[in-house]
Amino acid sequence: MSPRRRALLLAVCALLVAALAAVGLAALRSDREVRPVAQDQPGAVLLVPGYGGMTSSLAMLQHRLERDGRQVRVVALPGDGTGDIADAARAVDAAADAAGTPSVDVVGYSAGGVIARYWVKELGGGSRARRVVTLGSPHHGTQLAATGAPFAGLCPLMCQQLVPGSRFLRHLDDGDETPAGPQWLSLWTSQDEVVTPPQTARLNGAVEVVVQDVCAGIDVSHGGLPTTPVVVGIVVQSLTSGPVPAPAAADCARLTALSR
């Protein structure tokens, strides 16, 4: 074969390899592409507990949503609920499978909101979640975890992951804090004594709601979030078929009554 023919053949092969690689990359990107679910068709509701996995903290919210005819599952976190957030997110994924509905709404209380975000970002939840609501979630860490971190045995893996500036949170918060797919709402109390400072619950791209901005002067601790009537009412309203609204002070009485 002449040098010119050999060079031409090599050039054609190189172009073919490049074309096949481009097709393969496009297919890979297509597989990972988020396909948002229908917003007007509510499915099952997954309630994700916080650090320690105490499911009873979400009982009031579960019963209220079930009165509306919603299928509600409280996600049991693996182990004692203080392990790897990635493992907890896989439990959310399994619960979404078990629900058997085209989409799910996810309500994450405290660390449960961070678990829900990891599920959406890393495990394909963006194509399965219709709404994600977080209640007092330490999206950017909490100083309480930072205080316990230096003491051996006092700060298990999930605690370490929730230290402000941890490698886990740097990865989770890198880029879009509210990935495509679901509509997002972050609800928190200015009196939070666990998620400190309370503003760490802010979530860029979400509908942002501070309880005291809706009901002025109301006392709501971190532990009281899932059982406070106005909070329950806001969650119920956010999981309807319409867009996620931003409640205002004029809505305090109506949303409080909606919890009943």
Strand partners, 134: 108, 186
Domain boundaries, the chain: 43-258
What does each C-alpha distance from 197 to 158, 226, 228 come to in angstroms? Answer: 18, 19, 20
Distance CA 114, CA 192 (A): 16
Residue type, 59: A
| pLDDT per residue as tens, the chain (260 positions) | 555 555 444 443 343 333 333 334 333 333 468 999 999 999 999 999 999 999 999 999 999 999 999 999 999 999 999 999 999 999 999 999 999 999 999 999 999 999 999 999 999 999 999 999 999 999 999 999 999 999 878 999 999 999 999 999 999 999 999 999 999 999 999 999 999 999 999 999 999 999 999 999 999 999 999 999 999 999 999 999 999 999 999 999 999 999 99
Q: What is the pLDDT of residue 13?
A: 37
pLDDT value for 191: 98
Query: Do residues 139 and 175 make contact, with C-beta atoms less than 8 angstroms apart?
Result: no
Closest CA to 61 of 255, 259, 242: 259
Count other Cβ atoms within 10 Å, centred on residue 68.
Answer: 12
* Nearest residue to 216 via CA among 190, 235, 246, 198: 190
pTM here is 0.88
Do 111 and 169 form a contact (C-beta atoms < 8 A)? no
Class of domain 43-258: alpha beta
What are the residues whose beta carbons fall under 8 Å from the beta carbon of 156, sequence distance 6 or more?
Answer: 82, 83
